[in-house]
């Protein structure tokens, strides 16, 4: 086992929710936390200064995309990813495994690594576990992820065993290739929808020793209830003195439910992608700004929100921007959506500290029409 970068500050007496802190080379991260996704060294539609103003303290970059363009060596030569994108807070980079999985028609997975074709120009590329670590070390990220092989849903037990065991062997190679210990390295727990395989994967990763542990291979098409069952089972088996990260999830409801089950860290493209498509998150549910009923609506997106957008702009104006396809539409919508997600996590942290997370969860669902069935 490695020394843990995680400090537990408090636990809920009502569920598995916990309040903690992850220490990195670029500062501490207060958990539970949502990480805005900056796939190509930018969180789409928003500046680093905007991110700081709305309260974001850590962002995520994508190894696959930065490896292809502009290239990790170029970024290293220009001072690393923090300087390159003008972000002085912590950065987590994923390993590229999910992107390779999503481009399965262009990829071939072997024991050595992943051979794939660039989605940009079709050129032949290869990424081994050692390469994934080397690329992330060149980028200078604060938290790196092991290269893993993502298992689809549905998958047979035989297919799941094969993929999980390969992820374990790759994890061992990633740890051996890890040279800069100021950069944290997280292992990824695969195992598909089989609880015993998840448990075996955790045992193997803990035996290798990582700085944190992530739940991979979820939100890949399985029913929501199954995703939460696997999350609850897996999070409970993970070493509790290390950060627990649920990759690629999710909706506000997903965040509430996963924190309830003991998860600390999250990322998802949903707030930024939905912003560009005119879908806005509010304390009472989702709002589709293009709807005609907002044409002359003078109210802010969310009357209980204190973000820059809600303080200055009406639904009518935001609808006008969206319908006119103005660039400002994406910018303002993104500010609001990310503020909503960041503020939601801040509210959860405070509720856990005050040991009223069950009340917070009840209030969250109580304000959403038709969701009272989720109130425990």
Of these residues, 211, 254, 264, 267, which one is catalytic?
A: 267
> What is the DSSP-derived secondary structure letter of residue 353?
H
For the beta carbon of residue 291, count every other beta carbon within 10 angstroms. 12
Phi, psi of 364 (to 5 degrees): -55, -50
Question: Which stretches of the chain are DSSP H helices?
Answer: 48-54, 63-68, 72-77, 81-85, 97-102, 129-139, 157-177, 195-208, 224-237, 252-260, 270-276, 308-312, 315-323, 327-353, 357-366
To which residue do tokens 């075996």 refer? 200
> What is the DSSP-derived secondary structure letter of residue 250?
-
Sign of the Cα torsion 13, 17, 23, 29 reads negative
Tokens of 367: 């304000």
Tokens of 10: 């408090």
Active site residue 267: yes
* Cα(95)–Cα(104) distance, integer angstroms: 16
* Cα(43)–Cα(334) distance, integer angstroms: 9
> What is the DSSP-derived secondary structure letter of residue 48?
H
Q: Evaluate whether 146 touches 128 at the Cβ level (below 8 Å).
A: no
Active site residue 94: yes
Q: Evaluate whether 147 touches 168 at the Cβ level (below 8 Å).
A: no
The number of residues in the chain equals 376
Of these residues, 94, 148, 211, 254, which one is catalytic?
A: 94
Catalytic amino acids?
A: 94, 267
């Amino acid at each position: 086992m490695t020394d843990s970068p995680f400090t537990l500050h408090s636990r809920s007496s009502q569920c598995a929710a916990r309040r903690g802190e992850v220490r990195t080379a670029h500062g501490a991260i207060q958990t539970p936390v949502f990480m805005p996704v900056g796939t190509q060294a930018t969180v789409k539609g928003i500046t680093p200064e905007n991110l700081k103003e709305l309260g974001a303290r850590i962002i995520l970059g994508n190894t696959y995309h930065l490896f292809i363009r502009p290239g990790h060596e170029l970024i290293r030569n220009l001072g690393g990813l923090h300087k390159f994108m003008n972000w002085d807070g912590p950065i987590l980079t994923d390993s590229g495994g999910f992107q390779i999985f999503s481009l399965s028609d262009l990829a071939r997975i072997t024991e050595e690594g992943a051979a794939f074709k660039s989605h940009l120009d079709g050129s032949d590329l290869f990424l081994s576990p050692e390469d994934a670590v080397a690329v992330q070390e060149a980028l200078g990220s604060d938290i790196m992820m092991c290269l893993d092989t993502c298992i689809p849903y549905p998958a047979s037990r035989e297919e799941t065993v094969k993929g999980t065991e390969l992820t374990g062997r790759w994890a061992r190679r990633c740890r051996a290739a890890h040279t800069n210990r100021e950069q944290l390295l997280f292992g990824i727990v695969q195992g598909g929808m089989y609880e015993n395989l998840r448990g075996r994967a955790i045992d193997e990763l803990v035996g290798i020793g990582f700085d944190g542990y992530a739940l991979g291979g979820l939100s890949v098409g399985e029913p929501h209830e199954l995703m939460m069952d696997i999350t609850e089972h897996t999070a409970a088996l993970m070493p509790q003195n290390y950060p627990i990260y649920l990759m690629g999830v999710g909706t506000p409801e997903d965040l509430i439910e996963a924190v309830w089950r003991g998860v600390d860290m999250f990322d998802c493209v949903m707030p930024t992608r939905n912003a560009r498509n005119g879908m806005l998150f509010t304390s009472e549910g989702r709002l589709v700004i293009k709807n005609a009923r907002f044409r002359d609506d003078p109210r802010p997106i969310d009357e209980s929100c204190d973000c820059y957008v809600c303080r200055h702009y009406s639904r009518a104006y935001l609808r006008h921007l969206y319908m006119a396809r103005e660039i400002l539409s994406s910018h303002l919508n993104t500010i609001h959506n990310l503020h909503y997600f960041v503020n939601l996590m801040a509210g959860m942290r405070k509720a856990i500290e005050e040991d009223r997370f069950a009340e917070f969860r009840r209030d969250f669902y109580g304000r959403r029409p038709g969701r009272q069935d989720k109130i425990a």
